[in-house]
Each structure stands twice: as C-alpha cells, then as structure tokens.
Amino acid sequence: MTNVELDQLRKKVDETNLQLLELINQRAETVQEIGRVKEKQGMNRFEPVRERAMLDLLKEHNKGPFLNSTIEHIFKEIFKAGLELQKDDHRKALLVSRKKKADDTVVTLKGESIGNGTPQFIFGPCAVESFEQVDAVAEQVKAKGLKLLRGGAYKPRTSPYDFQGLGLEGLQILKQAADKHDLAVISEIVNPAHIEEAAEYIDVIQIGARNMQNFELLKAAGASKKPVLLKRGLSATIDEFINAAEYIMAQGNDQIILCERGIRTYEKATRNTLDISAVPILKQETHLPVFVDVTHSTGRRDLLLPTAKAALAVGADGVMAEVHPDPAVALSDSAQQMNFEQFDHFWDAIQQYLGVHAK
C-alpha cells in the first residue's frame, strides 16, 4: 500500500468519524427531547424493554464486520450516555438547583439571616428535659449574642426503650424559654399530623436524619411555609438529600436549610463520618444554606471544635452543636454534649477563628 492510499483511507476514517459525531449528537438531542416529554408525563427515564427492542433492531440489521455482541456493547454505551444527559437535564430543572436559581437563598428568622455569608450557630440540648434545663441553656446562648435555640421534643430514638422526648409539652417549654430570652426555636417534628400544632411553638421545623425520606412529612413541612432544617439521612447520597429538599420546595416553601450530620461508614472512631466535602458540593449544586451538625456527626466532644472550624473553612453557612447544663446526666447523647464551660471555650475559639479568617 502506498502512502497516498493510506492517506486517503485515513481521510475517509476522519470523515466517517465526523459523520458519526454529528449523528451521535443528533441522537442526543432527540433523547433530550424524549426526556422532556417523559418528565412532563411523569414517566420513568429508563425503560429496559424499549432498550432491548432497540438492540434487537440493530442486530437484525447488522451486516458486519462487527459481531452482534460488539454492536450491542457499543450501543449500550451510547444509550447510557443519553440517559446521563437526561439525568443532567432533570437535575438542572430541580427547584433547589443552583442552575435554576443562581443567587443564594437566604432564610430569615427573628431578624437573623441564614445563608448571607455570615456564619450562624444553633445551640441547645439534645432533648428538652425540663423548663429549668432549657432556660439555663437559653441564657448561655443569649449571653453570647446568639439567636437560635435547638431542643428535641420528639426524639426518634434507635431503641424504643430510650427516652422518647416530652412531646408537645417539650415544645411548650422551648417556646417559654425562647420567649423569655428572645430566641428562635428549632425542633424536630416526626409526624406530619403534629406540624400544625407545633407551628404555634417553633420557628423552624427540623426533619431528622431518620426521616429524610419520609415523603409525607417532607410534603407537610413544605406546605406549612415555616423554615425547615433538613438533615441528611444516615445512608443518604447527596443526590437523595437534594431530592428530599426538592419535596419541600415543590410545595412552595423555599425556606430550607440543609444540614450535613455525618453518614454511616465502616469507621468506628466517630459516631458517624462527617462528609465534609458534601458542604461545597451542596453549595455548588443548590442555592440553599448549608449547616454542619458537629455533635451527631462526630459523637465526640473533643472533635466538636476542629470539625466546626473545618465546616466554616469549606463554606458552611453555620454550625449546630448540643449544649446541656450537665451532660453526664442528660437523657440522650450524654457523651457529646458540651457543658457551659466547654461551650464558652468552644465559642471563644470559634470567634477567634472567625476573626482571623474573616472574609
């Protein structure tokens, strides 16, 4: 074969490549169009039966030299790429997506803005145990010039024999203490039927990790129009977390704070594994404020400060941590709540960190 012949053949291959490129992209555009139609009709993107029919048709017309198995392999890749494209389009269309809305969503509470670039903090006991207990913590929170108080009234415990919380009475205690110190209250709700009565007592509905995919609860929280702090599920992917937030926003409520609280891994040194990279990913992918709960992610008092600094360093809009007047006798999470002295040290160190690393 002469070089001239080779050059000609290569030219032909180049031309075929370009034709294929055009055809593949033409196919992709049609697939996107199909995706939009399916989305409108609420249909599933992946249809294995349809995929099988497409492969069979190709094999029927295949005159070689490629074997049917090779054709199947190549086209499976093309199908997969098309499906990915539909998924990307779907993600862009989500109400919580940064691509849908470029500006940060700011959640406002008692005159405080969450998600406007200034970090915010939520402190309070794991569970509401008595008025005196919550009042004592609220006083400490107030003394630091802070506005946000947490406390669990409905405690979704792993064991049914552990303290389950004071329920409505717990919410009343929280409100009483918060009013006394002019604070806003954040508390977990576990039952959609409780949202209406809880709304009288709390400023932010917390949806806990164990309920991240309780879709009826998400919808009810969305319909309530109260700000919602949504925690990441114990084993939820970021994609699942984002979709859970979408459930709330789809009901017309955009006052959502996402909260990374550690995920379950094989690591036993910490209660959960804090997925610190989830913070910048969530900030990129969504327009919602992102918090980090350092208490439940680490389960260790000695790690609260370093992980809080890490959270702020990667761009979290705030940090949540638990504080109790006497953690040793707390009815839940006694190993990781801070006492008042530890709270003071934690706060001083955070202030110093923020002073040094001021934006």
User: For binding to Mn ion (CB under 5 A), which residues are involved?
Assistant: 126, 333
Of these, 114, 128, 177, 209, which contacts ligand PEP (CB under 6 A)? 209
Q: What separation in angstroms does the CA of 256 have from each of 76, 206, 245, 281?
A: 39, 10, 7, 16
Binding mask 122-151 for ligand PEP (x = CB under 6 A): ----x-------------------------
Q: Which does 188 bind (CB under 5 to 8 A by kind): ligand PEP, Mn ion, none?
A: ligand PEP
Could you tell me the smallest distance in angstroms from the CB atom of residue 333 to Mn ion?
4
Sign (positive/negative) of CA torsion 287, 199, 325, 142?
positive
Q: Which residue is nearest to ligand PEP (CB)?
A: 208
Q: Which is nearer to Mn ion, 126 or 184 (CB)?
A: 126
| Residue 271 sits in the site that holds ligand PEP (CB under 6 A) | no
Of these, 208, 289, 325, 327, which contacts ligand PEP (CB under 6 A)? 208
Q: Which is nearer to ligand PEP, 156 or 315 (CB)?
A: 156
Could you tell me the smallest distance in angstroms from the CB atom of residue 336 to ligand PEP?
11
Question: What own/partner pairs with CB < 8 Å and gap ≥ 24 does 230-233 have?
Answer: 230/256, 230/257, 230/258, 230/259, 231/206, 231/207, 231/259, 231/261, 231/293, 232/258, 232/259, 232/260, 232/261, 232/263, 232/275, 232/278, 233/209
117 dihedral zone (left: phi>0; alpha: psi -120 to 50; beta): left
Q: What separation in angstroms does the CA of 49 have from each of 27, 55, 174, 208?
A: 19, 10, 55, 38
- 149 to 168, contacts with ligand PEP by CB under 6 A? 152
Task: Give the chain's largest Cα–Cα span.
Answer: 95
Task: Please name every residue paired with 231 in a beta bridge, in sequence order, or none if there are none.
Answer: 259
Binding mask 38-77 for ligand PEP (x = CB under 6 A): ----------------------------------------
- 224 to 253, contacts with ligand PEP by CB under 6 A? 231
Stretch that binds ligand PEP, among 86-94, 97-105, 203-211, 343-351 (CB under 6 A): 203-211
Cis status of the peptide bond prior to 65, with omega within 30 of 0: yes
Q: Which is nearer to Mn ion, 188 or 254 (CB)?
A: 188
Give the SS3 label for residue 21.
helix
Could you tell me the smallest distance in angstroms from the CB atom of residue 308 to Mn ion?
16
Binding site for ligand PEP (CB under 6 A): 126, 152, 188, 208-210, 231, 261, 293, 296
